[in-house]
Amino acid sequence: MAVHHQVIRKPPTTVWSVLSDRDRYSDWVIGTADSRPAYGDWPEVGAALEYTVRVGPWTLHGRTIVRHCEPPRTLELEAESGPLGSARIAIDIRPWGEETLVVLDEHPLKGPGGTFHNAALDAFLLVRHRRMLSRLADVVENSGERDAGRSGDRSRA
């Protein structure tokens, strides 16, 4: 199982505001070129986003479904990647003084990742998590600056 954590220099409510904004998903999730609503109201249980992953000349499509949500503390997702299978991604948001400790726990559920799960896959996931949590911290810690330049009446459709 791959577990990684990072302290983010903002309160949990600010972290949650980024995680619960479906339009920001591709800002912090490593590998997604873009994301769009599939169905439901993100991040309610059962809601889903579809996304595109570009790897060299290849374009892959995936979907992430909310499996459990306890705002502003817990978000559990299932990332489906077609023939590559699916993975459970649990994000735990904990107050840490004036800041937030974010714990990311990911492990494969179905497909080749689940079948061939081993220490090498966990090592790869830890590297990915480090980059993803760093991006999440950057998005959260700079969200005030970025949001000032955004339109306040964006459509979510």
pLDDT in tens, 91-130: 999 999 999 999 999 888 887 655 565 566 666 666 666 8
Residue 31 lies in a domain: yes
Residue 128 lies in a domain: yes
CA angle 103, 3, 13 (to 5 degrees): 10
Residues of the chain predicted below pLDDT 50? 148-157
Residue 7 lies in a domain: yes
**What does the H/E/C string look like for the chain?**
CEEEEEEECCCHHHHHHHHCCHHHHHHHCCCEEEEEEEECCCCCCCCEEEEEEEECCEEEEEEEEEEEEECCCEEEEEEECHHHCEEEEEEEEEEECCEEEEEEEEEEEECHHHHCCCHHHHHHHHHHHHHHHHHHHHHHHCHHHHHHCCCCCCCCC
Residue 26 lies in a domain: yes
Residue 69 lies in a domain: yes
Residue 19 lies in a domain: yes
Q: How many domains does the chain have?
A: 1
Domain that holds residue 136: 2-146
Residue 157 lies in a domain: no
CATH of the domain at 95: 3.30.530.20
Residue 156 lies in a domain: no
pTM, two decimals, is 0.81
